[in-house]
């Protein structure tokens, strides 16, 4: 019979190599801190851009007015009329004899155009439509008159956009001049 020596429990002996593997080096720690600082700076800069106010755009103002007019028609179960007042530079919508609600328009000009092109004139090297509609209507079922818009923004850029009469949303094809 063979006897094996029994080891008595006691403090473990560790080698210097095992201790070195369990710790981070100074370079690894500095790299992680630098990387976290870089990501944090990028996040703070992007978050600041989100909260910084930007100038209102002409097309944003138009779509806000369309949303409000359509919502009023749906909720009030009445026909709502949207028009652009060029003198006051506001978009105004109202239902019947109710007082009009307004929204300032930051662009130079907004025109409601018929669905089909009528009279077109060449002015200053740009084709300009001469047939405009005074106002458009939004109905209680969520649809609106068929129309197009011609937006001239503050920089003078001209955009023509078709409006879907069933959804009152922009059509996929936009004509920019």
133 to each of 59, 164, 170, 171, 172, how far by Cα in Å? 18, 16, 18, 19, 22
The residues, any chain, with a CB within 8 Å of residue 61's CB and separated by 6 or more, are: 91, 103, 104, 105, 106, 107
pLDDT confidence of residue 13 = 60
- Give 10-residue mean pLDDT values along the chain (177 residues): 65 58 85 93 78 76 92 92 91 88 89 73 55 88 90 85 89 59
Q: What pLDDT shows up at residue 120?
A: 55
Six-digit token pair at 52?
A: 């910084």
> What is the residue range of 35's domain?
16-51
Please tell me the predicted confidence (pLDDT) of residue 37. 92
- The pLDDT, as a whole number, for residue 114 is 85
Query: How many folded domains does the chain comprise?
Result: 2
Cβ-based burial of 66 (10 A; exposed 0-12, middle 13-18, buried ≥19): buried
pTM score of the predicted model: 0.61
Q: For residues 45 and 64, state if they share a domain.
A: no
Residue 11 lies in a domain: no
Q: What one-character-per-residue DSSP string does 90-102 give?
A: EEEEE-TTSPPEE
What confidence score (pLDDT) does residue 32 get? 94
pLDDT on residue 177: 47
- 37 and 64 housed in the same domain: no
Query: Residues 35, 106: one domain?
Result: no
Specify the CATH number for the domain of residue 138. 3.55.40.10
pLDDT at 19: 52
């Amino acid at each position: 019979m063979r006897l094996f020596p029994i080891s008595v429990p006691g403090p473990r002996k560790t080698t210097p190599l095992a201790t070195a593997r369990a710790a981070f080096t100074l370079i690894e720690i500095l790299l992680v801190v630098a990387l976290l600082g870089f990501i944090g700076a990028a996040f703070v800069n992007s978050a600041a851009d989100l909260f910084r106010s930007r100038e209102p755009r002409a097309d944003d103002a138009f779509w806000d007015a369309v949303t409000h007019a359509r919502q009023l028609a749906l909720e009030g179960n009445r026909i709502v009329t949207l028009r652009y007042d060029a003198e006051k530079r506001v978009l105004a919508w109202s239902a019947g004899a109710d007082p009009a609600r307004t929204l300032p328009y930051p662009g130079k000009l907004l025109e409601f155009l018929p669905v089909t092109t009528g009279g077109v004139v060449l002015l200053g090297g740009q084709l300009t439509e001469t047939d405009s509609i005074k106002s458009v209507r939004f109905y209680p079922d969520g649809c609106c008159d068929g129309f197009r818009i011609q937006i001239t923004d503050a920089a003078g850029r001209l955009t023509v956009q078709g409006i879907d009469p069933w959804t009152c949303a922009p059509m996929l094809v936009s004509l920019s001049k």
